[in-house]
Amino acid sequence: MLNASLLSIIEEAGVAVLTLTEGLEKDAFLASRLTRAETRRQVKTLSESIANLSPQTLGMLAEVDWAGWHTVARQLGADKNSEQDALWFAVCSLVPATLMWLRVYRINQPEIFECKPLADVGGARP
């Protein structure tokens, strides 16, 4: 059940990032203190939620770039240039790709997104 909630948080934060940054070029994004701060907050929410997903769920969603998210999470709070590069990478690449894959998985494996114990997912029963 926790994984379904975390996936919902990931999707919501991802949509917020895309909404905040729609149409922005890198220089405009980096120059906008408020947009950058809110985007950072949403990316942090995404990366923290991802860090709390079970290994089983990560394995079932294998096409998502979990290593990329781990790298971005490490860069948040790092030096200014590293953090800005990580945020822009998340905005341009990780967030759109993650949301796209989650949509694909939601269609093909909806049970991953249902609020039920993971033991019930995939036909395994305790």
Question: Above pLDDT 90, what percent of the chain?
Answer: 80
Chain segment 35-83, per-residue pLDDT in tens: 999 999 999 999 999 999 999 999 999 999 999 999 999 999 888 889 9
Give domain limits for the chain. Answer: 2-111
Q: How far apart are CA 36 and CA 39, in angstroms?
A: 5
Q: Are 112 and 124 in contact (CB under 8 A)?
A: no
Is pLDDT of 18 > 90?
A: yes
Percent of the chain with pLDDT over 70: 90
Rounded to the nearest 10°, the torsion over CA 118, 104, 68, 22 is: -130
